[in-house]
Amino acid sequence: MVRAVYVVGFPWEEKSTLRRGTALGPWAIRRELLDWLAVPTGLAAKLPIVDLGVVKLSRDEKAFSEMAAVVRGILPHGVPVVLGGDHSLTLPVARTVAELHGPLKLLWIDRHADLYPDFLGDRYSHACTAARLLEAGAVDRLVQLGVRERTDQEEQQRCKWGVVWETDAKAECLPREGPVYVTVDLDVLDPQFAPGASRGMQGGWKPDQLLGLLNQLEADVVGFDVVELNPRLDSSRRTAKIAAEVVKTLVGKVTEPKGAVAL
């Protein structure tokens, strides 16, 4: 039995400290995926793809419970693929995935570590997501690749939790065993390639570095998300197209189920 992949959009940006617009990200990514969702190609062709559309959410922290409920409904049947949305959504999604699979190996691809104890007084800011997941026990190994901006506070957190930090796209840092959850913040890319990332800065990765790294991932992927696309900054749709390629690549990494049940 092959487990299904469930693609769902969470239009969430209430924990972002940046320009508004990331809530529109799911629709922008879906626009680039529509043909593929109907007829998957490549490695994804071996898997049933279930398109759940974009879910309406509350505009406050009740949305965390709403996102968790959607993911909890997916997990007995397959793998959640979440289109965001700001990076705080990774907290309810990955935490819920860990309810089934146990503590995760979290592959975090991002320009930022998001390890603040709190940010501007908010413990659930998108700048705090990784810290909250570690505190919850949902993650037992955190590998952060692409990180270029980090503070002394985050360095203390890194030492406390034994987080792996690497600026470059080094395949030797990838988790070698599962269960692996992957989160990709598009601001890891240089803005000349991804102008629609919420907070991209010069010196980031090229798209082929990101996709090449993901193609080398061999461990069991039990869920992933792609976040921080702001379509208002992406008039060329270049960033949305890259996000769609990230989705296709990671869906190809989903393997045989461990305890999934048929619909």
CATH of the domain at 207: 3.40.800.10
Going across the sheet that includes 180-185, the strands are 49-54, 4-9, 78-83, 221-227, 180-185, 104-109, 139-145, 164-166
Tokens 């793809």 label which residue? Answer: 49
Q: Which ranges in 141-225 belong to alpha helices (H)?
A: 152-161, 207-215
Per-residue confidence (pLDDT) for residue 104, from 0 to 100 = 98
CB 251 within 8 A of CB 49: yes
Asked if residue 155 belongs to a domain, the reply is: yes
Report the alpha-carbon distance of residue 208 to residue 217 in Å, rounded.
14
Q: Which ranges in the chain belong to alpha helices (H)?
A: 25-38, 62-74, 90-101, 129-135, 152-161, 207-215, 238-251
Question: Which of 148-152, 220-224, 256-260 is the least confident region?
Answer: 256-260
Closest CA to 178 of 112, 233, 226, 222: 222
Per-residue confidence (pLDDT) for residue 258, from 0 to 100 = 44
Per-residue confidence (pLDDT) for residue 11, from 0 to 100 = 98
Per-residue confidence (pLDDT) for residue 43, from 0 to 100 = 62
Residue ranges making up the domain that contains 237: 4-251
Asked if residue 260 belongs to a domain, the reply is: no
**Mean pLDDT, residues 5-22 taken together:** 92
Amino acid identity of 182? V
Asked if residue 235 belongs to a domain, the reply is: yes
pLDDT single digits (tens) 158-186: 999 999 999 999 999 999 998 999 999 99
Asked if residue 131 belongs to a domain, the reply is: yes
Asked if residue 261 belongs to a domain, the reply is: no
Asked if residue 243 belongs to a domain, the reply is: yes
Per-residue confidence (pLDDT) for residue 117, from 0 to 100 = 86
Structure tokens at 10: 């969470």
Report the alpha-carbon distance of residue 7 to residue 183 in Å, rounded.
14
Per-residue confidence (pLDDT) for residue 170, from 0 to 100 = 96
CB 250 within 8 A of CB 1: no
Count of the separate structural domains present in the chain: 1
User: What are residue 141's phi and psi, to 5 degrees?
Assistant: -150, 125
pLDDT single digits (tens) 180-202: 999 999 999 999 999 999 776 78
| pTM of this structure | 0.93
- Farthest-apart Cα atoms in the chain, separation: 48
Asked if residue 262 belongs to a domain, the reply is: no
Per-residue confidence (pLDDT) for residue 123, from 0 to 100 = 79
Asked if residue 263 belongs to a domain, the reply is: no
